[in-house]
Structure 1
Amino acid sequence: MRRTALVFLAAIAALVLASPVSAAPGRPGGLVALTEQASRRILVLPADQEAWRTRAYTWSWAPAAANGLGDLAAAFVSPDEAKLTERAGQQYLMTTASGGFAGVIPYPQGTGAYWAANVGGPSNPHSIELLPDGNVAVAASTGGWLRVYTASQGARSTTYAEYPLVGGHGVVWDHERQVLWALGTHELVALRVGGTPAAPVLTAEQVFHLPSEGGHDLQPVPGSGDQLWVTTETEVLRFSKSRGTFSTRYPGAAAINGHNVKSVTTNARTGQVLTATPQADHICTWCTDTVDLDLPRGELTLRGAWIYKARWWQPQH
């Protein structure tokens, strides 16, 4: 009965969220990307409450026959990651969904995927990163792994190298140190990617045990080559790569640090911090329709939305 009710309410929410969408990339530096699970879409819109009230989306995306990914559409259940990156002058959406989808999609074109695959719904992929050699790293929570797929060898390549990682939730490439940071339930790992693009090899270079359980989100702190955001079930931390330490002493910590924060990013241009935390009374127990801003303080609400993660829509490196 509960499953039927959830499906019915999701259908209503999808209709409420429906809106004409332009293909324009919008105002740089002032956009937010949402993983909206009711309508099963990635939404991009200005960080302005009026735009959220009127649903003035500047971009929307989901796999479909029209963009060449109809065969993977069924795997785009509960989208749970949306990040922007740039490679050779082209920007890309990097996205995953709990239903098994993982992909790197040209932005704003939305068609002709750089790479896309169904990595297995039971594995619950949660984050993704495009690497300098053209391969793609994916972290999966239920699967308990970090994989590097040989996307450099083809847009649908499913060959991969795997590193076991309990509760894999986050992955970030470190351009300065040339390592892949991966976050799991208990630890943060710096992985060296060796071998060749066609046959990568993953080796743990450093392992740091988390000060609290349930590692969830992992993101760079723009403008600081030394700092990473790390969230757990009970804290929002900053990790110093040079010191190998976690801390809750950072600007805005009194408001930002909290329980069960699903995503955190810093606006590279303004320094404003954006977080998404589930609402206690939301029918989707891991979702919210309101995201928080800090430094300065504010909030943005998209009524009826099932937001899992919210990120500043700009490359974080």
Structure 2
Amino acid sequence: MQRRTILRGLAAGTVAGPAAAILGPGAARAASDYHVVTTEQVSNRLLTFNKYAPFTDANVLWSFSPGGGGWSNLSDVKLRNTAHHGWIALATASSGQAGIINIGGDTHTNLSHLMWSATPGGNPHAIERIPNNGSVVVASSHGYLTVYAPSAISDPGTLAAVQTESLPGAHGVLWDPTYELLWAIGQDTLRGYAVEGTYRNTRIRHYGVTVGLGAGNLGHDLQPDYSNNQRLLCTATDGVYEINTAGGTFSKVKISSETLVKSYVRHWDGEAISVRADDVGSRVWGSPTVRFSASPDQTRSGAEFYKARIWAVNLE
């Protein structure tokens, strides 16, 4: 009830406070001012900030603190909208866990806010939810995708593993509503999967929709281009790519030869947000800095950011 009240208030433009300020698409759509949600691995939290505010504890707008163990080294976060629960957060951790977080009206969340969790194994690197189906797909970098399907779409607690699909080097998954494909990225390739069936009969099938990345080129992050729903964005060993999907003809265009880019996404106004591993510190694959192509970068002392996302629910 609390979440629905906040969302209704946001739509009416009447709610104040940190949680209300971020729970909705209006804040993310502003051309010059929006929020980003990050995976910060030293404190092991999902941390959300306004892009212009210093990335300090005092300016955290929303967080998820799962502790350690299987939730160590948070590796992915996505926000999605659901018919029954409003906005939710999807998360994975390289130490083994994946889950769905009830954002609700709480500014700071923890394991008690989990609506569902699982242990896919093999270094979970990314997670996605299939809209109007309720299924969840997790990419594990050891080489496979795991499909979790519900017995009740409105109840994430009913999700159970129903399929394991081989994908060497699996690192990213993303739902493309324009072509109703689940994209997954791994070693040398980006693949599109059809989602078939419902409830526990849900399966993903690869019918040959593939974008080659080149031999020896490990795909890493996969994100939407919010400025153009006919493009996807991905990072790989040798740089950053746009994947053009217009007309159902899928092709790649290299837009940067910068290496070690761990996440890359583009806002509606065209600004790119990225994280590049600096090869130093407690986690050489991370960085204390989130980069903005048209605004000042933000550095958090002692942090190791791995992913940075726009606070938005999907590619529209």
Of 93, 96, 100, which residue of structure 2 is paired with 1:100?
96
Partner of 1:166: 168
CA–CA separation in structure 2 for the residues paired with 1:211 and 1:165: 15
Q: CA offset at residue 139 of structure 1?
A: 0.6
Mapped contact 1:34–1:42 kept (Cα < 8 A): yes
Mapped contact 1:146–1:168 kept (Cα < 8 A): yes
Alignment of 1:1-317 (within 5 A): 24-27=19-22, 28-29=27-28, 30-48=34-52, 50-53=53-56, 55-63=58-66, 74-88=69-83, 90-108=86-104, 109=106, 110=109, 112-120=113-121, 123-132=122-131, 133-142=133-142, 144-153=143-152, 154-155=156-157, 157-205=159-207, 206-211=209-214, 213-241=217-245, 242-248=248-254, 253=255, 257-268=257-268, 270-294=269-293, 296-317=294-315
Q: CA offset at residue 219 of structure 1?
A: 0.8
CA–CA separation in structure 2 for the residues paired with 1:126 and 1:157: 19
Mapped contact 2:47–2:63 kept (Cα < 8 A): yes
Q: CA offset at residue 178 of structure 1?
A: 1.4
CA–CA separation in structure 2 for the residues paired with 1:99 and 1:23: 30
Superposition RMSD on alpha carbons, in Å?
2.1
Matching residue's letter, 2:291:
D
Deviations 1:29-78 (A, max 9, x none): 21111111111111111112x432564111111237xxxxxxxx621010
TM-score normalised by L of structure 2? 0.81
CA–CA separation in structure 1 for the residues paired with 2:103 and 2:151: 19
Matching residue's letter, 2:180:
Q
CA–CA separation in structure 2 for the residues paired with 1:146 and 1:25: 35
Instruction: Describe the shift of the 1:56–1:297 C-alpha distance in structure 2 as closer, same or farther (beyond 3 A).
Output: closer
Mapped contact 2:139–2:171 kept (Cα < 8 A): yes
Matching residue's letter, 1:101:
Q
Secondary structure in 2 aligned to 1:134?
coil
Q: CA offset at residue 180 of structure 1?
A: 0.7
Identity rate, percent: 29
TM-score normalised by L of structure 1? 0.81
Secondary structure in 1 aligned to 2:55?
helix
Instruction: Describe the shift of the 1:112–1:307 C-alpha distance in structure 2 as closer, same or farther (beyond 3 A).
Output: closer
Secondary structure in 1 aligned to 2:210?
strand
Matching residue's letter, 1:301:
T
Mapped contact 2:182–2:194 kept (Cα < 8 A): yes
Q: Structure 1: any 5+ residue segments left out of the alignment?
A: 1-21, 65-72
Instruction: Describe the shift of the 1:77–1:54 C-alpha distance in structure 2 as closer, same or farther (beyond 3 A).
Output: closer
Q: CA offset at residue 112 of structure 1?
A: 4.5
Instruction: Describe the shift of the 1:152–1:128 C-alpha distance in structure 2 as closer, same or farther (beyond 3 A).
Output: farther
Q: How many residues align structurally?
A: 276
